[in-house]
Amino acid sequence: MTTELPDDHAILRIMARPNDVNVAGDIFGGWMMSQCDIAGGIVASRKAGGRVVTVAVKDFRFLAPVLVSDIVSIYAEDIRIGTTSVTIAIDVFVERRQDGKEQIIKVATAEIVYVHIDAQRQPTAIVTTD
């Protein structure tokens, strides 16, 4: 169990809500994947300097369940820049208050690939300045 959030700013912070649960009462995995795709897309778009689309989810691991009222923080950073693609590494943590105690738990990791596209939706080169 992790005890501190990373020093970087989270790209998204959101509270898990009752309408996001599966039949077992835990937060639905698809909800988590959707939030991670949004967070990764923000970072990829900044890096590419324009519009991006998701082309592949290379890896997605659910490490621990997310519960209703957990505060979910999604961290995303670029780990590979190709000709037209950006690969984003995602880490997800929750802050949970239970029995009067605050816990911070790493709940998921992912690697998502985005492609920079032009107005005709065709892959277009990424020109990085750093």
Point out which residues bind ligand COA (CB under 6 A). Answer: 53-56, 82-85, 113, 115, 117, 121, 123
Question: Smallest gap, in angstroms, from Cβ of residue 129 to ligand COA?
Answer: 17
Residue where the block lists tokens 């670029």: 78
CB of 25 to ligand COA, least distance (A): 28
To the nearest whole angstrom, how small is the minimum distance from the Cβ of residue 2 to ligand COA? 29
C-beta nearest to ligand COA: residue: 82
34/43 Cα distance (integer angstroms) = 15
Contact 82, 127 (CB under 8 A): no
Q: Which is nearer to ligand COA, 41 or 96 (CB)?
A: 41
DSSP 3-state assignment of 65? coil
Q: Residue 93 corresponds to which tokens in the numbers above?
A: 């943590």
Cβ(104)–Cβ(94) below 8 Å:
yes
CB of 43 to ligand COA, least distance (A): 16
- Residue closer to ligand COA, measured from CB, 54 or 103: 54
Closest to ligand COA by CB, 3 or 120? 120
Nearest residue (CB) to ligand COA, 38 versus 53 = 53
Q: What would the DSSP string read from start to end of 10-70?
A: PSEEEE--GGGB-TTSSBPHHHHHHHHHHHHHHHHHHHHTS-EEEEEEEEEEE-S---TTP
